């Protein structure tokens, strides 16, 4: 292992898409940002200098940050933002994990344009559980707004309504040929026939879950969120914001040109979304460069049956080289509801949410409010009145979560944390609610990879635990909680610090679909060290 130094300068740069030029915030002027390459065990020193116009932080999504919570990055959770002109050295070691992850800004909606891939190779000499292809490529899925994305968020929060839809979905920053004025902004992957390629697919979009398909080719999933899976061959994958998926692609079709791309999965009824897929070209050597590529068959945008089959087919390796320490008995048990709601609007601004109200969202009916100093600093230095350590293990109101909504749909507001003892074996059942429509929520937990031991539709019932997969459940950092259903996750609380959990649909986080967990220090040196001296102050 070695130490790798990266210098990230955050600054505005002009980018033109869809015949529209705009100034956007990006890492080193690049959209998407540069790739971070590392090996398992490496120390990363990433010096982030903010020369842009907004406060910013950076998050290394899926990096477990063992004993390095100060480098995790969510604004007002583990640090105060880096103000314009400021800088912060993110200093951490990649412990016992490898695979495809990504980094992104973690302050307001800046991650729309401030993001990039992280590729962590296994320790040298450690074999892959599949024949590792000679060529690998990164596929970052994203969303493009012609408007300033910060303004889109501000507008949504002021008016109380849903946010303006993005103007395009993108692959490696390019919308592809189906959008206006975009015929030449098409990512092209040139391949040789009869070879195997590794695609590292990342969903960095803000607000949309996506299917990814390649015309006429099956793809084989071998890794999700940086943990290996048993090979699973499929026509398409579903990937939520915050998820990463490695697939093998075998070029076993006739020499030619094929589109590959991403098309929306929208589980909610009556929620507007953009239908047009983003496409890239898979071009076989020897094909006619002017031929029209073959279109993929994407699943229908509401194909929850496909999504269920896909999610429940994934399995971790769970073999002698890759044992899976799935917690078999539970010492900290949480039942958490996730969902949208409404709140009264303030008269000065619009009321474009449901029935003249404003949209809001919550975990267990508590809508998360970002504090003015980070929860981690408040916890570490005993600063009072920043958060309360009383986030409930069970919802305060018990109701028929997926049935008729209760009459009062206004959640409480507050900054709370649930405290978990060191090395607890934790179970969290995440229950979608129908308070304001039902929707698949991609719930991301910082600081851990967890096992998805079960999922189902309707209200979770304890008897479902009998069918949990405690042998080879997939391990992920972002779970798609089924629309109108639930997912159960388990993990070991071996990482002291303050860890954010939130919906990775960014508008839901803006509305408060988030909470924090405090994992206490362990014995001996299994404690969170003090913050680095350059930790930004609020």
x-marked contacts with ligand C2O along 204-243 as a string, rule CB under 6 A: --------------------------------------x-
Structure-token pair, residue 269: 């009824």
Q: Would you count residue 61 as binding ligand C2O (CB under 6 A)?
A: yes
Q: How far is the CB of 271 from ligand C2O (least distance, A)?
A: 21
Least Å distance, CB 225 to ligand C2O, is 11
Taking residues 499 to 528 in sequence order and writing x for each that binds ligand C2O by CB under 6 A, - otherwise, the string is -x-x-x------------------------
Beta-strand pair 450-457/219-224? unpaired
CA-to-CA dists, residue 235 to 127, 176, 220, 229, 290, angstroms = 27, 21, 9, 17, 26
Smallest separation, CB 446 to ligand C2O (Å): 6
Nearest Cα neighbor of 483 from 431, 415, 413 is 431
Kindly state whether residue 441 participates in binding ligand C2O, applying the rule CB under 6 A: no
Q: In terms of CB distance, is 202 or 248 closer to ligand C2O?
A: 202
| Shortest distance (Å) from residue 516 CB to ligand C2O | 11
Closest approach of ligand C2O to the CB of residue 344, in Å: 28
Q: How far is the CB of 123 from ligand C2O (least distance, A)?
A: 25
Q: Shortest Cβ contact with ligand C2O: which residue?
A: 61
Nearer to ligand C2O, 106 or 476 (CB): 106
Task: Measure the CA–CA gap between 348 and 50, rounded to whole angstroms.
Answer: 33
Give strand pairing partners of 245: 201, 224
Size of the site for ligand C2O (CB under 6 A): 11
Q: For ligand C2O, which residue of 358, 416, 441, 446 counts as binding (CB under 6 A)?
A: 446
Question: Interface with ligand C2O includes 106 (CB under 6 A)?
Answer: yes
Q: How far is the CB of 62 from ligand C2O (least distance, A)?
A: 8
Cross-strand bridge partners of residue 493: none
Quote the tokens at residue 393: 């293990």
> Tokens 């009824």 belong to which residue?
269
Binding-site member from 17, 64, 104, 490 for ligand C2O (CB under 6 A):
104
Q: How far is the CB of 242 from ligand C2O (least distance, A)?
A: 5
Residues 112-151 within binding reach of ligand C2O (CB under 6 A): none
Bridge partners (DSSP) of residue 189 are: 282
Nearer to ligand C2O, 64 or 444 (CB): 444
DSSP characters for 339-403? Answer: EEEEEPPPTTS---SGGGSEEEEEETTEEE---SS-HHHHHHTT-TTS-BS---SS-SS---TTS
Instruction: Tell the smallest beta-carbon distance from residue 275 to ligand C2O (Å).
Output: 25
Residue ranges of the alpha helices (H) in 70-209?
149-159
Cis bond before residue 32 (omega within 30° of 0): yes
Restricted to residues 461-500, the positions that interact with ligand C2O (CB under 6 A) are 500
CB of 161 to ligand C2O, least distance (A): 24
Q: Which of 74, 99, 447, 485 lies at the binding interface for ligand C2O (CB under 6 A)?
A: 74
Q: What are phi and psi of 290, to 5 degrees?
A: -105, 5
SS (H, E, C) 255-309: CCEEEEEEEEECCCCCCCCCCCCEEEEEEECCCCCCCCCECCCCCCCCCHHHHHH
Site string for ligand C2O, 367-406 (x = CB under 6 A): ----------------------------------------
List, in order, residues 6 or more apart from 347 with CB less than 8 Å away.
Answer: none
Separation between Cα atoms, residue 184 and residue 144, nearest integer Å? 16
Using CB under 6 A as the criterion, which residues of the chain lie in contact with ligand C2O when the complex forms? 59, 61, 74, 104, 106, 242, 444, 446, 500, 502, 504
């Amino acid at each position: 292992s070695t130490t790798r130094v990266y210098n990230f300068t955050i600054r505005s740069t002009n980018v033109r898409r869809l015949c529209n030029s705009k100034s956007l915030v990006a890492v080193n002027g690049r959209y998407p940002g540069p790739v971070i390459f590392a090996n398992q065990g490496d120390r990363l020193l990433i010096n982030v200098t903010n020369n842009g116009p907004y406060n910013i932080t950076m998050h290394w999504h899926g990096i477990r940050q063992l004993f390095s919570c100060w480098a995790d990055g969510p604004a007002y959770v583990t640090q105060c933002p880096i103000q314009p002109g400021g800088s912060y050295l993110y200093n951490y070691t990649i412990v016992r994990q490898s695979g495809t992850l990504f980094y992104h800004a973690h302050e307001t909606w800046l991650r729309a344009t401030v993001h990039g891939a992280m590729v962590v190779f296994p320790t040298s000499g450690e074999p892959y559980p599949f024949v590792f292809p000679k060529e690998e490529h990164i596929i970052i899925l994203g969303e493009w707004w012609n408007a300033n994305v910060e303004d889109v968020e501000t507008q949504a929060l002021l008016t109380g309504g849903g946010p303006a839809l993005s103007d395009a979905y993108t692959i490696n920053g390019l919308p592809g040929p189906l959008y206006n004025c975009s015929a030449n902004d098409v990512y092209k992957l040139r391949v040789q026939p009869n070879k195997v390629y590794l695609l590292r697919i990342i969903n960095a979009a803000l607000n949309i879950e996506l299917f990814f398909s390649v015309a006429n080719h099956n793809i084989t999933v071998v890794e999700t969120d940086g943990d290996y899976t048993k090979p699973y061959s499929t026509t398409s994958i579903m990937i939520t914001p915050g998820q990463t998926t490695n697939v093998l692609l075998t070029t076993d079709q006739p020499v030619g040109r094929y589109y590959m791309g991403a098309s929306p999965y929208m589980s909610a009824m009556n929620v507007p979304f953009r239908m047009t897929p983003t496409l890239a070209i898979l071009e076989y050597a020897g094909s006619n460069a002017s031929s029209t590529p073959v279109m993929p068959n994407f699943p229908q945008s509401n194909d929850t049956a496909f999504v269920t089959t896909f999610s429940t087919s994934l399995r971790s390796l769970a073999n002698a080289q890759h044992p899976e320490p799935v917690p078999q008995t539970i010492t900290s048990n949480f039942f958490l509801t996730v969902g949208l709601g409404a709140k009264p609007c303030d008269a000065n601004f619009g009321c474009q949410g449901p029935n003249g109200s404003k949209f809001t969202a919550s975990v267990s009916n508590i809508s998360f409010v970002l504090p003015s100093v980070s929860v981690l600093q408040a916890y570490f230095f005993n600063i009072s009145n920043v958060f309360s350590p009383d986030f409930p293990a069970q919802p305060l109101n018990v109701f028929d979560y997926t049935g008729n909504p209760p009459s009062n749909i206004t959640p409480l507001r507050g900054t709370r944390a649930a405290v978990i003892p060191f090395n607890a074996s934790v179970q969290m059942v995440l229950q979608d609610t129908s308070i304001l429509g039902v929707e698949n929520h991609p719930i991301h937990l910082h600081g851990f990879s967890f096992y998805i031991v079960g999922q189902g539709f309707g209200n979770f019932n304890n008897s479902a635990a009998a069918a949990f997969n405690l042998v080879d459940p997939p391990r992920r950092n972002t779970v798609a909680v089924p629309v109108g259903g639930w997912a159960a996750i388990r993990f070991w609380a071996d990482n002291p610090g303050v860890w954010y959990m939130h919906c990775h649909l960014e508008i839901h986080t803006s509305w408060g679909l988030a909470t924090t967990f405090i994992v206490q220090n362990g014995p001996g040196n299994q404690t969170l060290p003090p913050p680095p001296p350059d930790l930004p102050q609020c």
